[in-house]
């Protein structure tokens, strides 16, 4: 039922809110560079780390980070019967099965087996997703939008609505999601086909209306949660529209209370860097070291590190471990919220 549904790869680039990309010049620069990447492909990607770092880093370290993220942003996933289809980044390798830059991995999918209805999370490139859906004989019925950042999460909604007029597009009621037809609030439930139930969890802070989707299927299957840019593997999203108090509630209370076997599908493949940072907070945490080693191995093999699980996050994610007095002590704080705020600030300044 569930798939390796990795929504696009990038941290939130908040063009709507103007919180990250501050000038129209920068937006144009990003668009030009992205267009160029389509033609230059690997060459540009190979060059990006050196060229971009040298040209931009000195004056706009934050902008560089967003720019690099945008290169990795347009990689949608569609969940189909028994497969996960994910467009490959030009610098990614997939050892499993390649079809013209699309990685087809045999994994469970968010598909109702009885009705062959499918849901897709944050579909940024609708044409490709629709093509693959048609090839696999399933009907796209739902879009689950985690938050309004259009460049890498909500930006394909209008187009997919044109292509699939009866599709329902879900999004947070206070998040102004592009193309949203079904606004949801915390606790709202809906279904896909006959066997899949979806629970909306309001997880604000990265954006004020951010929604995570908790998905359950037939008895005996582990549930899954699609956490967008709130919870990453071993990390969390930036506090663009909220406070440390809100992120604590979202991460440690709402998501932290889900069943431990819940599979965590987050918005971006930041796992290796996040685990490297986690070791700066808890150098002696053996679970973090083990997970980092495994994540590096997976990436070298072209395999995603996602999903994780709530249990693993509680063991390795420093942002979800702030209830522990020893973690608070390590960052010089005496409360969970203060520790979360401090760790986020350290991560924002960390250039690992």
Residues that bind Zn ion (CB under 5 A): 12, 149, 229
Q: Catalytic one among 66, 148, 206, 210?
A: 206
Q: Which is nearer to Zn ion, 8 or 256 (CB)?
A: 8
Residue 149: active-site member? yes
Is the Cβ–Cβ distance between 164 and 29 less than 8 Å? no
Report the nearest approach of Zn ion to the CB of residue 335 (Å): 27
Report the nearest approach of Zn ion to the CB of residue 286 (Å): 31
Residue 153: active-site member? yes
Report the nearest approach of Zn ion to the CB of residue 305 (Å): 19
Q: Which is nearer to Zn ion, 126 or 237 (CB)?
A: 237
Q: Which is nearer to Zn ion, 149 or 347 (CB)?
A: 149
Q: Which is nearer to Zn ion, 112 or 229 (CB)?
A: 229
Residue 206: active-site member? yes
Residue 202: active-site member? no
Q: Catalytic one among 66, 113, 122, 147?
A: 147
Report the nearest approach of Zn ion to the CB of residue 100 (Å): 28
Q: Which is nearer to Zn ion, 12 or 193 (CB)?
A: 12
Both tokens of 287, joined, read 């679970």
Residue 147: active-site member? yes
Q: Catalytic one among 113, 122, 152, 175?
A: 152
Report the nearest approach of Zn ion to the CB of residue 182 (Å): 20
């Amino acid at each position: 039922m569930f798939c390796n549904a990795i929504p696009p790869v990038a941290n939130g680039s908040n063009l709507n809110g103007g919180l990250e990309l501050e000038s129209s010049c920068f937006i144009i620069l990003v668009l030009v560079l992205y267009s160029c990447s389509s033609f230059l492909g690997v060459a540009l990607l190979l060059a990006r780390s050196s060229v971009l770092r040298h040209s931009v880093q000195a004056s706009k370290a934050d902008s560089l980070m967003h720019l690099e993220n945008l290169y990795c942003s347009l990689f949608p996933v569609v969940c189909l019967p028994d497969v996960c289809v994910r467009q490959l980044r030009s610098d990614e390798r997939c050892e499993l099965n390649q079809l013209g830059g699309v990685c087809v991995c045999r994994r469970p999918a968010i598909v109702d087996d009885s009705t062959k209805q499918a849901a897709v999370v944050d579909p940024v490139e609708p044409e490709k997703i629709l093509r693959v859906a048609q090839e696999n004989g399933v009907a796209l019925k739902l879009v689950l939008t985690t938050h309004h950042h259009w460049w890498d999460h909500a930006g394909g909604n209008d187009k997919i609505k044109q292509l699939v007029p009866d599709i329902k597009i879900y999004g947070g009621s206070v998040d102004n999601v592009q193309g949203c037809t079904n606004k949801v609030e915390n606790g709202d439930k809906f279904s896909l086909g006959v066997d899949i139930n979806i629970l909306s969890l309001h997880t604000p802070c990265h954006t004020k209306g951010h929604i995570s989707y908790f998905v359950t299927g037939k008895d005996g299957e582990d549930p899954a949660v699609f956490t967008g840019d709130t919870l990453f593997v071993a990390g969390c999203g930036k506090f663009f529209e909220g406070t440390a108090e809100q992120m604590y509630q979202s991460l440690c209370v709402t998501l932290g209370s889900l069943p431990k076997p819940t599979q965590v599908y987050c918005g971006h493949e930041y796992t290796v860097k996040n685990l490297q940072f986690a070791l700066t907070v808890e150098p002696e945490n053996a679970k973090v070291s083990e997970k980092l080693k495994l994540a590096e191995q997976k990436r070298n093999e072209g395999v995603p590190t996602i999903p994780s699980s709530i249990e693993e996050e509680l063991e390795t994610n420093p942002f979800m471990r702030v209830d522990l007095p020893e973690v608070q002590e390590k960052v010089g704080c005496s409360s969970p919220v203060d520790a979360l705020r401090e760790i986020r600030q350290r991560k924002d300044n960390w250039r690992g």
